[in-house]
Structure 1
Amino acid sequence: MIRLVLCDMDGTLVPFGASSPSDRTLRALRSLEKTGVAFGVATGREPVDLLRFFRGDERYLDSGIMSNGKIIQWRGRHLSTIYLDHAILDTLADIAREEEGCALNVYVPRQPREGETFSLSRPCYLGLNDADIRRAVALTGMLPPGDLIDAVPDVPIMSAGFLCLGNGRETAEEQALRMRPLLSEACPQADFLRPTSLFFDVLPRGWSKANAFDRLCEACSIAPEEVVFFGDAENDLAMLGRVPNSFVVANGTDEAKAAARHVIGDAADDAVAKVVEAIARADGRLDLDALDDDALGRMA
């Protein structure tokens, strides 16, 4: 029996360029409640972004792994939070100032307002101007608009990313490929994962969604085989290899497809919703034979 469905957001539950999951996807996720199966995100996004995706409905954030595992929730109970080392952020800020076309994105927390479950944050950018931010949002299809800052604020920060937009000598892709080893050399205590080709998530060295998954399973007495996970990209690889019931969407990377147990349809075609609907119809069982041909592409 399945007890928990975990899903990446960008490119998996939400097609790139879309502002929220489809109505069919939201109905499918709600249908899990009747079977006792919990739904949770497993994403690099912070709660402030997720609430925008889920149209302000906090129920979709009751369980899950956020900020690439730096926030862990289970049925409304907060399990853990991990913050980034400010020495890493300050080093990345210096690099962003020196490298044309590069920027640092950090999420700066604010005090929770009355009635808020989460202490929400605001996205901020160092090394960009307003026009650059608009270009970054358009290029990546996932970055939110934010405020411009000159330095990393001296407050606890969970989420950060390093952005490569290109310059007069390099395309954005070329710049990202060049910068990755430089970032790793400058910040050996950090890992840099690419949810998209132009953007690096910044994580503590050795930490990933899979580490958070292990902690979640241990705290809640869930076995890995009682979980279904959906992903699409590099920051999902550890999870795709860790969860026996792992699925990757057809628009995912080749590396993600190789790591997953199953390949399903495209995110734009509600592929995740089709699998979730089948789980709900089977009262929490994962019955691959019940999936439509267009939902399940192949078995790895």
Structure 2
Amino acid sequence: MTYRVVALDLDGTILNSNKQVSENSKRVLQYLSKPEFKNSDGEEVLVLLASGRAPYLVSPVEEALGIDCYLIGYNGGICFGRKSEGRNTVFSHSIDNSNLKAIFKYVEEHNLFLNIYGDGIVYGIDKLELAEKPRRYSIMTGATYKFIPSYSTLPDDFTPAKCLIILDDDKECDQLLETMRPLFPTLSLVKSNCMNKDYKQYYVEFLEHGVNKGTSVIDFCKAKSIDSSKVVSFGDAENDNEMLEQSGLGICLANGTDVTKSIANQVSQFTNDQDGVARELVKLFNLPENLIQ
């Protein structure tokens, strides 16, 4: 198969454990993105960064790679075009107000910390007993918070692309996800995680019904008139599962979760700290081996 789109998760995939892009990854993706490079069908290769992060937290990874990318944020909630195209909105989905109020009610009753994403800001309730959760999230992702005294201070017509509950335990996350799914049948609930050498967090994410990285890849391909079989995607965790399934080839890195490895078409022998993405792309596109140093 000749691939036209390279879809990349960020944390645990194209980013190493220090939340950085390696020099090998830069060289390989810059080579693929050169105007003169074409796949075996003579087509330009498009790079799509697909993350649960807010778009403004995805763009620094694009800058670190040194290439012009399409950006998917909020696990499929929104997609922006490349800088060279004016960073236009390719598509967007948001949580309606009635669902949003139900989420607020649940987290208040169970004293859970909720991230609410809108207008380039992460909103959160200012609660001293939960303050460590957003502090660690900010350290790991670079997110900037605007703390509010209550959810009622948000505008009545506020419709964020995504919300998420921050948890510190994997099993607690699984249990909460199982409990909440039947309570929110008109929303898409997704498990994700983020970790560095110091911290680990697990998340229950709320998205508009049917929205995930997989549907976002399909929407992107429709917008660009590309067959989804020409997408190769890379991921490591549960929020990547649909993307790996919907792509022509879905590759899970060696550091990925067991669940994600089980649904991937292929499991790399390399982790994100061993330049797994770069090494697999060199093989797939028959690139010069000296790009990996």
TM-score, normalised to structure 1's length? 0.77
Does 2:97 match 1:86? yes
Match of 1:160 in 2: 163
Pick from 218, 242, 245: which aligns with 2:246? 242
Question: Superposition pairs for residues 118-137 of structure 1, below 5 Å?
Answer: 121-126=120-125, 128-129=127-128, 130-137=131-138
Shift of residue 32 of structure 1?
Answer: 1.0
CA–CA distance in 2 between the matches of 1:262 and 1:188?
A: 32
CA contact (8 A) 1:83 1:158 kept: yes
Say if 1:126 and 1:93 are closer, same or farther in 2 by CA, change over 3 A. Answer: farther
Match of 2:278 in 1: 273
DSSP 3-state at the match of 1:252: coil
CA contact (8 A) 1:29 1:273 kept: yes
CA contact (8 A) 1:108 1:123 kept: yes
CA contact (8 A) 1:122 1:146 kept: yes
TM-score, normalised to structure 2's length? 0.79
Shift of residue 248 of structure 1?
Answer: 0.6
CA–CA distance in 2 between the matches of 1:25 and 1:193?
A: 28
Pick from 96, 103, 117: which aligns with 1:107? 117
The amino acid across from 1:67 in the alignment is Y
The amino acid across from 2:276 in the alignment is A
Does 2:74 match 1:67? yes
Task: Write the deviation string for residues 119-172 of structure 1: whole angstroms up to 9, x where unpaired.
Answer: xx011223644444224556xx4473522222162233112211224xxxxxx3
The amino acid across from 1:70 in the alignment is G
Task: Write the deviation string for residues 152-195 of structure 1: whole angstroms up to 9, x where unpaired.
Answer: 62233112211224xxxxxx334323322332233221121111
Which runs of no fewer than 5 residues in structure 2 stay unpaired? Answer: 38-43, 194-200
Which runs of no fewer than 5 residues in structure 1 stay unpaired? Answer: 110-120, 166-171, 284-289, 295-300
The amino acid across from 2:272 in the alignment is A
Match of 2:13 in 1: 12
Please report the RMSD computed on the Cα atoms of aligned residues, expressed in angstroms: 2.9
Q: Alignment length, in residue pairs?
A: 265
Does 2:21 match 1:25? no
CA contact (8 A) 1:6 1:40 kept: yes
DSSP 3-state at the match of 1:203: strand
DSSP 3-state at the match of 1:9: coil
Say if 1:248 and 1:178 are closer, same or farther in 2 by CA, change over 3 A. Answer: closer
Pick from 43, 49, 61: which aligns with 1:41? 49
Say if 1:72 and 1:135 are closer, same or farther in 2 by CA, change over 3 A. Answer: closer
CA–CA distance in 2 between the matches of 1:31 and 1:279?
A: 13
Say if 1:269 and 1:87 are closer, same or farther in 2 by CA, change over 3 A. Answer: same
CA–CA distance in 2 between the matches of 1:244 and 1:8?
A: 16
Task: Write the deviation string for residues 58-100 of structure 1: whole angstroms up to 9, x where unpaired.
Answer: 954x424322222234543432111111222222222222223
DSSP 3-state at the match of 1:198: strand
CA–CA distance in 1 between the matches of 2:248 and 2:81?
A: 20
Match of 1:113 in 2: none
Task: Write the deviation string for residues 216-239 of structure 1: whole angstroms up to 9, x where unpaired.
Answer: 222212122322110111111112
CA–CA distance in 2 between the matches of 1:99 and 1:223?
A: 44
Pick from 257, 261, 265: which aligns with 2:265? 261
Question: Superposition pairs for residues 187-226 of structure 1, below 5 Å?
Answer: 187-196=184-193, 198-226=202-230
- Structure 1 runs, 4 residues or longer, greater than 6 Å off: none
CA–CA distance in 2 between the matches of 1:279 and 1:177?
A: 35
CA–CA distance in 1 between the matches of 2:66 and 2:144?
A: 21
Say if 1:237 and 1:56 are closer, same or farther in 2 by CA, change over 3 A. Answer: closer
CA–CA distance in 2 between the matches of 1:128 and 1:53?
A: 31
Identity rate of aligned residues, in percent?
Answer: 23
Does 2:191 match 1:184? no
Match of 1:96 in 2: 107
